[in-house]
Structure 1
């Protein structure tokens, strides 16, 4: 298998990745082959379009749109020339506030060719959050969707920017967002003060080739090209700043791990604004020639099933809650999923029983688990398609190429194997830093380049990483350290339970008590006493949840990550608890 980087992307057998080597300390290094590549994303895109000219590059099912690589390249180049003609220059920031549309991807690759830093904005953001992120990074432009569910993006922007009604498109001067000059909207309707996406393409089609070519020649792989805001669960969102080198090489490594070729068609139902969608989804397309398939503008279980069967997808991405929703959908058995072979699950720990169902019922014999974070481009560990099933179920794999990792105690000392500590990673994948926030960057990245993940884990003797929880999620009950994932795994084995999340809430006597939110399988009923009886004698008494709540759903981010802090706040409010002050 050869990607656009020629022999540099020749596949290395998965068995060569981290061959058995008994660890003496919890420190690992990934292999150095294939070598890292020094292309910019724009150069890689152009190489892909030239190599796979007539092959299908992108299918947007909900828009009924299809593009060959040649057709996609024409739009990408037109966008890049158009945005430069509007006065944008390399290093300027352009936000995109929209769901999964073909034009999102055109903008992604067009920005990369022009050296414009793309700023991914969560479609769930409300006006105050949008205002913060645009001002935080000084966005010069914004691409916006029209509406989604209860969000009317046009209305929100008109409220934030009353100057839009009077300004010429592309010449905005707004009191609340002084750096913003252009708002570009998707769709065919027009809005005062805004350009349509098609307008930018048309501007670009009228420009000569030379200026864009000179800009591209000046770019380097170490330039910042993307800002992704991490969820602000413990404070204001932080803008992780990533380079061409960071995310393009990460995509190439993931594609190699998945044994991708031009025969693969990937169902991308994860959001493009997230690294899962734009890196693991879109960027692996240009490194390996896969076809991108968007089932819908956001995750819809039935749309996923329809896209897999009609487009004959071979790979699928998602977080555990997404796979569970598809497996439990009433129409699951009505669709032909036999074209599937592989995929990536990431974003949250996967219960053992769910992984078994995914491999068997979903027809995913080569399903992989990936681990990482936005700040590390994102993937640093991955199980491989031919890994033993027990390893794919119980771990997140071994360290990826060109990446180092270690497990440390609270004093940053490396611990022995099978001892829990914080996971730290280093290598090409670590971000440049948080945009305009030196203090937060120094807290996250050590002077010698190690990223503090905030995740707890341990290595076994063969270097497989096992995630045991979040540093901040750990519950301390009466002096005992309790890890939610352990209780969640146990409760998930109950035949009536479909999904479960465990949190700690304040308790006057023990400091913290354990609460479980449980979603039952369709048609099942249970009581809190029944669940506690199931626990008794099977897990330690102090791990048995005091509070049990049955729910239909969990609070989640757009990417499907469970928001445990929201659950905790809800319980505190409902029970009238007081959070104890700590030093």
Structure 2
């Protein structure tokens, strides 16, 4: 490819024209009907391509016995076979999946179910002590299916019949992401976008047919259910699904001779620090996939040395089905170590200056992306949609990046104040609203401070109400009762006043400087 004159690149779509998730599954059956495509170490269950299609068809029939095509079905489940089969069955039924973090707190669950219009919630009795089925049942108008230890007895099944035709442009999922307004926004994801992303992602990883793909990434995120579920189906790999815990993941790598492991940077650090690592046979590993936050050349070198495998890094967001840029394991060292790769097939990327025009290569600007995988907007939020996606279809990511002359990109910062911790997005406003609801707090501001393991840690600056004396332990308990664990501040600072601009806005840059100095 000739050197680029400006930082804009259009990569045409390639690969099979599978328009909906059901097409990807049916194609896998045609290519290798007896190949194992899904396994779950916790239960010892395995499904060939044919068995997986039959099981997904039975789940689709069970859902259609309750609701019509187009209905929205929420899942609040940990990683396991039920989550995968509900995803596939919902797609075959022409319904919309609404995956909800099973560790969500009551207000978060209610917001997700009400905003999405879910009529059915398939929820675990509890996940990590969180009674998520009870939380769903507390939302009026939602039919709840409770999933206990015997998941087969709970998931809706029926004799497969004729399934509805599904439009590739129809809504496949509503995924939730934190926004700068403080409330989670419902991201609309189409079948076409999901299939295009999973397929292109798998192609960038290289040949994976017949290999074993271990995926402990959360199946309520695009990283788990688009890059993982769809990517593994598109590539013909055996998809090994399990919750993340360092010991069990290491055992699975050795026992199942895993060739490809998906893990966020934080999870890779936890695996590398685990005492079982030294006695685990990692010789089968060929590729590690990671993403969710910016990684350094030193991190790439350390991970590849520890695990003896090549690292593939992706950059994406929920609004891009989880991936839009990605390095290949076969890329030259400077690309693999210093960038997040080139655009995936079917993607337009522009590094835009303040006037919206593409800047010169090597010049920082805002990362804009366009293509089939881009969200169709935010559910029932035309204002936020118009702010994010312009009239020409460009998604303005709010991230600062630069593109080299060959099309590889490097993320250099963010325009937004979003905090990214352990691969999760945290809206400062959402946490601040919870804090100021406490009687001891008059004002609060939340920022992220860099952390080598988590990417960023959430830090809260709080101004006491009157003569109150806020206790960090009490504030932590207050937040844990109302927020998901990753949103709870890890560090606290009680201050008399927050630094403000002349227009009465909090100077977050100054707070980040103070927090970084404190972290020292």
TM bracket, shorter-chain basis: 0.7 to 0.9
How far apart are the structure 2 equivalents of 1:413 and 1:561? 40
Alignment correspondent of 1:497: none
In structure 2, the CA distance between the partners of 1:283 and 1:562, relative to structure 1 (3 Å rule), is: same
1:578 to 498, 502, 511: 498
How far apart are the structure 2 equivalents of 1:387 and 1:444? 31
Structure 2 residue 45 is the aligned partner of structure 1 residue 45 = no
CA RMSD of aligned residues (A): 2.9
Which structure is larger by alpha-carbon Rg, 1 or 2? 1
2:249 to 265, 279, 304: 304
1:279, CA displacement in angstroms?
0.9
How far apart are the structure 1 equivalents of 2:18 and 2:229? 19
Is the contact between residue 206 and residue 328 of structure 2 (CA under 8 Å) also seen in structure 1? no
How far apart are the structure 2 equivalents of 1:289 and 1:515? 40
In structure 2, the CA distance between the partners of 1:233 and 1:272, relative to structure 1 (3 Å rule), is: farther
Alignment correspondent of 1:192: none
**1:298-322 deviation line (CA, Å, top 9, x unaligned):** x211111111111111001121111
Counterparts of 1:469-548 in structure 2 under 5 Å? Answer: 469-473=413-417
**1:211-233 deviation line (CA, Å, top 9, x unaligned):** x2xx1xx3221111111111346
SS of equivalent residue, structure 1 residue 417: coil
Is the contact between residue 240 and residue 431 of structure 1 (CA under 8 Å) also seen in structure 2? yes
SS of equivalent residue, structure 2 residue 218: coil
Alignment correspondent of 2:177: 230
How far apart are the structure 1 equivalents of 2:21 and 2:134? 34
Counterparts of 1:210-229 in structure 2 under 5 Å? Answer: 210=162, 212=163, 215=164, 218-229=165-176
Counterparts of 1:422-461 in structure 2 under 5 Å? Answer: 422-461=366-405
1:316 to 261, 274, 280: 261
Alignment correspondent of 2:463: none
**1:163-182 deviation line (CA, Å, top 9, x unaligned):** xxxxxxxxxxxxx533x2x2
TM-score (norm 2): 0.81
Alignment correspondent of 2:468: none
**Please, which runs of 5 or more residues in structure 2 have no aligned partner?**
421-427, 429-444, 454-478, 507-520
Is the contact between residue 267 and residue 292 of structure 1 (CA under 8 Å) also seen in structure 2? yes
Is the contact between residue 18 and residue 24 of structure 2 (CA under 8 Å) also seen in structure 1? no
SS of equivalent residue, structure 2 residue 50: helix
Counterparts of 1:22-101 in structure 2 under 5 Å? Answer: 22-34=3-15, 37-86=17-66, 88-101=67-80
In structure 2, the CA distance between the partners of 1:576 and 1:271, relative to structure 1 (3 Å rule), is: farther
Is the contact between residue 37 and residue 47 of structure 2 (CA under 8 Å) also seen in structure 1? yes
**1:452-496 deviation line (CA, Å, top 9, x unaligned):** 11111111222210101111259xxxxxxxxx99xxxxxxxxxxx
**1:506-531 deviation line (CA, Å, top 9, x unaligned):** xxxxxx9x9956579xxxxxxxxxxx
In structure 2, the CA distance between the partners of 1:473 and 1:340, relative to structure 1 (3 Å rule), is: same
Is the contact between residue 213 and residue 258 of structure 2 (CA under 8 Å) also seen in structure 1? yes
SS of equivalent residue, structure 1 residue 225: strand
In structure 2, the CA distance between the partners of 1:439 and 1:577, relative to structure 1 (3 Å rule), is: same
Is the contact between residue 348 and residue 561 of structure 1 (CA under 8 Å) also seen in structure 2? no
Alignment correspondent of 2:296: 351
Structure 2 residue 261 is the aligned partner of structure 1 residue 282 = no
Structure 2 residue 145 is the aligned partner of structure 1 residue 184 = yes
In structure 2, the CA distance between the partners of 1:67 and 1:576, relative to structure 1 (3 Å rule), is: farther
How far apart are the structure 2 equivalents of 1:247 and 1:150? 32
SS of equivalent residue, structure 1 residue 63: coil
In structure 2, the CA distance between the partners of 1:518 and 1:48, relative to structure 1 (3 Å rule), is: closer
SS of equivalent residue, structure 2 residue 361: coil
Is the contact between residue 347 and residue 371 of structure 1 (CA under 8 Å) also seen in structure 2? yes
Counterparts of 1:196-215 in structure 2 under 5 Å? Answer: 198=153, 200-202=155-157, 204-205=158-159, 209-210=161-162, 212=163, 215=164
1:251 to 198, 201, 205: 198
Is the contact between residue 134 and residue 177 of structure 1 (CA under 8 Å) also seen in structure 2? no
In structure 2, the CA distance between the partners of 1:50 and 1:413, relative to structure 1 (3 Å rule), is: closer
Structure 2 residue 444 is the aligned partner of structure 1 residue 463 = no
**Please, which runs of 5 or more residues in structure 1 have no aligned partner?**
1-18, 161-175, 190-195, 475-483, 486-502, 504-511, 521-554
2:323 to 358, 361, 379: 379
How far apart are the structure 1 equivalents of 2:286 and 2:485? 24
Is the contact between residue 260 and residue 287 of structure 2 (CA under 8 Å) also seen in structure 1? yes
How far apart are the structure 2 equivalents of 1:562 and 1:460? 34
**1:79-130 deviation line (CA, Å, top 9, x unaligned):** 10111111x1221100001110101101111111110100011122111111
Is the contact between residue 82 and residue 155 of structure 2 (CA under 8 Å) also seen in structure 1? no
Is the contact between residue 190 and residue 375 of structure 2 (CA under 8 Å) also seen in structure 1? yes
Q: How many residues align?
A: 453
In structure 2, the CA distance between the partners of 1:32 and 1:438, relative to structure 1 (3 Å rule), is: same
1:582, CA displacement in angstroms?
2.3
How far apart are the structure 1 equivalents of 2:117 and 2:43? 32
1:342, CA displacement in angstroms?
1.0
TM-score (norm 1): 0.73
